Amino acid sequence: ETADTLLEMISVVVPLLNEERSLETLYDEIANALEPLDHDFEVVFVDDGSTDGSLAVLSRLHDELPNIVVVHLRRNFGKAAALQAGFLEARGEIVVTIDADLQDDPAEIPKLLAKLDEGFDLVSGWKTKRRDPLSRRIPSRIFNSVTGWVSGLRLHDLNCGLKAYRAEVVRGLRIYGELHRFIPVLAHYRGFRVGELPV
Ligand code: UDP
Ligand code: MG
């Protein structure tokens, strides 16, 4: 075997609700970011009960490209359940999550992977330049600091959709409801090393 085939496979999990306009661009940007790395990768799109043309776009992409997995949820279950469904399908030793609305830049993924290599089990993106209004930034700051204070895991940005994990971390998760906001805390409690990286 060549060294290439020994590199860990990356599964990118994308939860989505009514994102027909961004899906193709998102796939292209993920592929541009990961192709230079020599890892095999797959993109697991989880359609969380979309009512727009998302599923049709995904079916077309699935027909055209070999490394796309589409999970279709019968109704809208929420982001945590969508992530959970994607984690169950993901085959990679490394799992990356990214939002479908292009708020996170796939070009940042290699930096997260490099930080995993430094010895972390979960690396969470930290959005330093948020485009959200104050009415969202202030509650988010309070959430991050209260959760950090209660849990002992101090992160700046628990809510960032862009994260990289060793597969072991997601294999043990059972998330639903609003629990996606607490994934780093749940991992921290289980003894995994959690880090963050400005994106
Ligand atoms: N999303 C989902 N199910 C939902 C709501 C959102 O899969 O019920 C997806 C959405 O399409 C996006 C990601 O989860 O890819 C983050 O959602 P959103 O942008 O609404 O969250 P925010 O940016 O406000 O944190
Ligand atoms: Mg968003």
pLDDT in tens, 65-120: 999 999 999 999 999 999 999 999 999 999 999 999 999 999 999 999 999 999 99
Ligand 1 atom 25: residue of nearest CA: 159
Q: How far apart are CA 115 and CA 75, in angstroms?
A: 36
Question: What pLDDT score does 3 carry?
Answer: 54
pLDDT at 8: 92
Judging by DSSP bridges, how do beta strands 94-97 and 163-166 pair with one another? Answer: antiparallel
Check: CB of residue 161 under 8 Å from CB of residue 97. yes
Ligand 1 site-directed mutation target among 20, 79, 137, most atoms within 8 Å of CB: 79
